[in-house]
Amino acid sequence: MTVPALRVSGLSVWIGSGADSIQVVDGVSFDIDPGEATGLVGESGCGKTMTAMAILGLLPSTGVRVSCDHIEINGRDVSRLNTAQRRKVLGRDIAMIFQQPATALDPVFTMGQQISAVYRRHADGNQRRAHEAMLASLESVGFERPEEIAQAYPHELSGGMRQLSMIAMAMVCKPAVIIADEPTTALDSSTRALILHQLQQLQALHGTAMLFISHDLGVVRQSCRNVMVMYCGRLIEKTDCQNLFSHARHPYSAGLLSCIPQLGATRPGRISSIPGQVPALADLPSGCHFAARCNRSEPRCSESTPVLDAQDKKGVACFRPL
Amino acid sequence: MLGVTFISFLLMVYFGPDKTYELLGKNPTEEQIREVRHELGYDRPFLVRYGDYLRELVTFDLGLSDSNGEPVAAILARTLPVSLALVLPGFVIGNLLGLALGLLAAWYRGKWLDKLVMSASVVGMSISFIVIIIGLQILLCTPYGLNLFPVRGWQVDGPGSYLYYVTVPTLALVLVTLGYNTRFYRAVMAEEIERDHIRTLRAYGASPAEQLFKHVLKNSLVPVLTRIMFSIPFVVISGSLLLESYFGIPGIGLVTFNAITSGDQPILKAVVGLTGILFVVALMINDMLYSLVDPRIARP
């Protein structure tokens, strides 16, 4: 049995302190194997980004409480590291690709300076070797003239080029895990296809595990083998992509799928939606959070919480799955 | 530039000192008044006089002082270096210290260190300039206190005597400006620290020192430089005005102070014009520095 590249177990996040605190991530557990891409989908505000930030330890120390059993990268628990030890892991073993490359890159340093800084910090302080690694990384994401990109400031690049440079920055130390938080949301569809293609290629080449966060099921289907669905801070279904699209088991997953407008559908009627509203995180119902909106719910759904088998690749948190 | 000189000249001509009665003494005749006003050029059209003023400024032919007949240009050449030497250390220390404290407070924003620094700044801002000067004079310059430094005067003939005379005014200037500087720099830095690209740095394992001194500092240079360049004319003219009059230092501030009280128009005209020039030059340098600091601003 292979050691998962990323193992998260029992991750919870609360915002606020004391009695007023709101739980935004609730007992999230999953494994991602080397070379595997797993999508994390869910509506805005369901806790996707919070999960990513908590894995990296980037949440502020005041006003936010994080607890977890462990977070392992290649079998090494990184959740108990102190700040200095954690800094050595970030960017070297696990790297993040952000949603908005326009603001996530420093406007007053060139791309080359920013990428080589990551390499020099983690791999090799030598300026010339860092420069070479930086150029190689830029080339590996598909730039034909990496020197030009290296000398450019972020504002001189297009959105797609910026995101590709960001990917080059993430890959420069060949990390075991990449977390991509909505990497294509800010881009047009042809650029999106290019970025997804490059990500997949690099992932296959280096055997990188990827956690791909998105609210776009279509994008996840294109780039991931496995998928996890999140609702109100909990994972409610884990499966592979094909299965989710052909046979979603959780009523919420099925509802999400039915919301995707079909191109060429015979009747351009109303786009279907899930009845009801997402409950406020401050006032979550007990039991299954989806019970009130679910047409299959029964009394026990709001009495006890259905659980997902922690490290399994497939499972559904529902008493009456489809 | 034209605007500044125009408005200040307007104010001086219509509300400023009028020498006619000073020269004539009591009970002059109509005839005498007209004669003197003609001699002084007061009866010429406003725009002609304004043109003369501009020509004086451009050619540095600033006329003679009314009070002692010395050429104004010579007075300025003598006093300006003194003023610069007086305010420069305080200006530099005040800004560097403000930057350091602002950075510290911004990094620990919300924590006790931030609160301590910020409350101290408010206290510093609330104490009047005069109280600080007199307080320092009593503490450091009199037998009631340490009696280490002179209360007044400026007889500089070397590094030792420079330190001897400059220390207390410098301390006063630092104390007065530090609160304002720290608050301003903290606000700028705190905003920069919250930016997304600083979060990216953290996600890639950059140390706090690298985040702060490389990225936060370079990104905040535009507002920081603007503040520094803008405050230069203020500090040189108005800062030295108060300092010099309290410490009896023969700089441009004291000259201006005396010119105001005695109604010495040629000197006032020169100082006001000079301040305007200083402002414009500072702003021009500021704009040029922008393009060096921020690649998004096109290079000239």
Contact B205 A89 (CB under 8 A): yes
Taking alpha carbons only, the member of A10, A16, A11 closest to residue A282 is A16
Taking alpha carbons only, the member of B276, B269, B275, B191 closest to residue B236 is B275
* Cβ pairs bridging A and B (under 8 Å): 69
Task: Please report the pLDDT score of residue A213 as a whole number.
Answer: 93
Closest Cβ opposite residue A87 in set B110, B205, B215: B205
Residues A229-244: what's their mean pLDDT? 89
- Show which of A128, A149, A174 is a domain's final residue: A174
On whether both A117 and A229 belong to a single domain, the answer is: no
Alpha carbon of B290: minimum distance to chain A alpha carbons (Å): 12
On whether both A84 and A133 belong to a single domain, the answer is: no
**Which residue of chain B is at minimal alpha-carbon distance from A173?**
B204
Least confident of A128-137, B176-185, B228-237: B228-237
Residues A218-240: what's their mean pLDDT? 89
Would A61 be classed as within a structural domain? yes
Pick from B111, B195, B197 the residue to mutate for testing the A interface (most A CBs within 10 Å): B197
Would A189 be classed as within a structural domain? yes
Q: What type of residue is B124?
A: G
Query: pLDDT > 70: what percent of chain A?
Result: 96
- Show which of A143, A159, A174 is a domain's final residue: A174
pTM of the model: 0.79
**Which residue of chain B is at minimal alpha-carbon distance from A93?**
B204
Residues 222 through 251 of chain A touching chain B, CB cutoff 8 Å: none
B211-267 pLDDT, tens digit per residue, is 888 899 888 988 898 888 888 877 777 777 888 888 888 888 888 888 888 777 778
Contact A58 B202 (CB under 8 A): yes
Would A266 be classed as within a structural domain? no
Domains with residue ranges and CATH for chain B: 2-59 (no CATH), 72-293 (1.10.3720.10)
Q: Which residues, in sequence order, are bridge partners of residue A70?
A: A9
On whether both A86 and A198 belong to a single domain, the answer is: yes
Asked whether the CA dihedral A79, A81, A82, A85 is positive or negative, the reply is: negative
On whether both A228 and A285 belong to a single domain, the answer is: yes
On whether both A164 and A275 belong to a single domain, the answer is: no
Give B224-245 as a DSSP string: HHHHHHHHHHIIIIIIHHHHHH
Would A98 be classed as within a structural domain? no
Domain that holds residue A157: 106-174
Binned at pLDDT 50, 70 and 90, residue A306 comes out as confident
Q: Could you give the C-alpha distances from A217 to A157, A212, A228, in angstroms and in order?
A: 28, 11, 11
A170-182 pLDDT, tens digit per residue, is 999 999 999 999 8
On whether both A117 and A217 belong to a single domain, the answer is: no
- Give CA angle at B40 (B34, B43), nearest 5°: 55
d(CA B244, CA B249): 5
In chain A, the number of structural domains is: 2
Closest Cβ opposite residue B200 in set A62, A88, A98: A98
Pairing relationship of beta strands A209-214 and A177-181 according to DSSP bridges: parallel
d(CA B105, CA A176): 36
On whether both A111 and A222 belong to a single domain, the answer is: no
CB A272 within 8 A of CB A318: no
On whether both A244 and A276 belong to a single domain, the answer is: yes
On whether both A160 and A225 belong to a single domain, the answer is: no
- Show which of A153, A174, A195 is a domain's final residue: A174
ipTM: 0.84
Q: Does A119 touch chain B (CB under 8 A)?
A: no
On whether both A58 and A74 belong to a single domain, the answer is: yes
Alpha carbon of B216: minimum distance to chain A alpha carbons (Å): 10
CB A235 within 8 A of CB A10: no
B14-64 pLDDT, tens digit per residue, is 665 566 666 666 666 777 777 777 766 677 777 777 777 777 777 766 677
On whether both A33 and A86 belong to a single domain, the answer is: yes
Pick from A64, A106, A163 the residue to mutate for testing the B interface (most B CBs within 10 Å): A106
On whether both A58 and A180 belong to a single domain, the answer is: yes
Query: Domain containing A191 — which CATH number?
Result: 3.40.50.300
Q: Does B36 touch chain A (CB under 8 A)?
A: no
